[in-house]
Amino acid sequence: MSSTTQRHPFSPHLTCILGAMITNPLMLFAFCSLLFALLSSCIPSQEKLFKETRTSMYTVVEITVSSDSAEKAKTAIDRAFNELDRLARLLNFYSEDSEVSIINRNAGDKPVKVSPETLEIIDKALYVSENTEGAFDITVGPVVRLWDFQNNVLPDEKMIKERLKLVGYRNVIVDKEKSTVFLKTKGVQIDLGGIIKGYAADRAVEILKKNGIKSGIVAVAGDIKMFGKRPPTGSDNGLWNVGIQNPRQKSDRDEIIAAIGLSDTGISTSGDYQKFFIKDGKRYHHLLNPKTGYPVYDCQSATVITKDAVFTDAFATGIFILGPRKGMDVLKKLGFDGVIVDRDGKIHVTEGIKDKIKWNN
């Protein structure tokens, strides 16, 4: 794993521009560098901020911690990255010896006994599916892979219809008592790409806390988990400032439409601007309706804020696909906060953050 380490103290002012995983590593590194642009100044306390960037979970991960010891910070960060690497091996769709691949190979044949982590993340994914009318679905991967967003190639309609026969989260059976996962129909496959980054961020935070870190932030690509408060400067409240990206920015520079101070929470955004191509004047993006195999167009972006990053990651996708009306209903029902930008650019905000969010005019 490649790494870039910074051990020197820096100001805790932080702006996080949210987005999904950028497949080009150089672009992603630049993205995360912008994501954690921390301006230099003195911190009036013994706590200092330490940041490390590495390639993990098949993307770029940034971990920032507050600590009074560089050695303590390094140990905690190393152990958090070790956990991320372990999860990547366990849950990787493309690795033949991962538990996900073993589950897929036994589809329609027999249940597979799995680790607590695999059982947990699949169970949480099914919870998201149940609460989004199947708009989020870990069995949609075979359809998604028909789309070529690098070469701007539309998939064959007949092939999409054929693959859709194997899509349906109700094919996934979790037995918590026996710790098994079973795919009822032969040919069905699960792919945890839509939830694994948020889950990984949560797990990394757990490891940091176990190693004595009381405050920090983990960003697995654009899925972010914050805990504790950063060392305050002046009269601020020590919250981590997070920016929400403009889905229709007018330049190559990242633009934000709003910012909010957060702590002890996760935040993720799904948007039609993150991976797309335009053909014959129509935008084709990567957020596909599992029922049709095609992109949906009721939203430009959906941001979800709640305690667990595993849910912000998956629900952001599901709510984007549901659309603004049903999406806001889901947020209200579950007690989550969020911001939805609909197809016309109208912004919908949950009541819980209306007075906390700062808009850029």
Q: Residue 338: helix, strand or coil by DSSP?
A: strand
> What is this structure's pTM?
0.87
Q: Is residue 172 part of a domain?
A: yes
What pLDDT does 20 receive?
Answer: 37
Q: Report the pLDDT value the prediction gives residue 9, as an integer from 0 to 100.
A: 35
150 occurs within a structural domain: yes
pLDDT of residue 47: 87
Contact assessment for residue 11 and residue 40, using Cβ atoms and an 8 Å cutoff:
yes
Does the pLDDT at position 31 exceed 50? no
DSSP structure class, residue 211: T
Question: Is 264 a domain residue?
Answer: no
CB 43 within 8 A of CB 231: yes
- 299-306/337-342 β-pairing: antiparallel
Select from 341, 336, 342 the least CA-distant residue to 314: 336
- Per-residue pLDDT, 46: 80
Cα(first)–Cα(last) distance of the chain, in Å?
41
- Tokens of residue 40, six digits: 């230099």
CATH number of the domain to which 190 belongs? 1.10.3980.10
What are the φ/ψ torsions at residue 170 (nearest 5 degrees)? Answer: -70, -10
233: amino acid identity, one letter: T
State the pLDDT confidence band at 44, using cuts at 50, 70 and 90.
very low
At residue 243, does pLDDT exceed 50? Answer: yes
Quote the domain boundaries for residue 135. 99-194
pLDDT exceeds 50 at position 118: yes
pLDDT for 160-183, tens place per residue?
999 999 999 999 999 999 999 999
Instruction: Report the number of distinct structural domains present in the chain.
Output: 1
Say if 220 falls within a structural domain. Answer: no
Report the C-alpha gap between 228 and 263 in whole angstroms: 6
Mean residue pLDDT of the chain comes to: 88
Q: Which two tokens stand for residue 211?
A: 């190693």
- What number is the average pLDDT over the span 334-342? 98
Residue 76 lies in a domain: no
Please give the torsion angle defined by the CA atoms of residues 97, 197, 122 and 301, in that order, rounded to the nearest 10 degrees.
-140
d(CA 108, CA 166): 12
52 occurs within a structural domain: no
Residue 354 belongs to a domain: no
Task: Give the model's confidence band at 25: pLDDT under 50 very low, under 70 low, under 90 confident, else very high.
Answer: very low
The pLDDT of residue 234: 60
* Residues 66 and 213: beta-carbon distance below 8 Å: yes
pLDDT at 6: 40
pLDDT single digits (tens) 185-242: 999 999 999 999 999 999 999 999 999 999 999 999 999 999 999 887 665 688 999 9
CA distance 287 to 315: 12
Neighbouring residues of 329: CB distance < 8 A, sequence distance ≥ 6: none
- Contact predicate 48/67, CB 8 Å: yes
Q: Is residue 115 assigned to a domain?
A: yes
Sequence-ordered alpha helix ranges (H) in the chain: 25-35, 70-91, 99-105, 116-130, 141-144, 157-164, 196-210, 309-322, 324-334
Among the residue ranges 37-46, 108-117, 228-237, the one predicted with the least confidence is 37-46
**pLDDT digit string (tens) for 294-330?**
999 999 999 999 999 999 999 999 999 999 999 999 9
Asked if 216 and 65 touch (Cβ cutoff 8 Å), the reply is yes
For the chain, percent of residues with pLDDT exceeding 90:
81
pLDDT of residue 249: 84
Q: Is the pLDDT of residue 24 over 80?
A: no
**pLDDT of 17:** 40
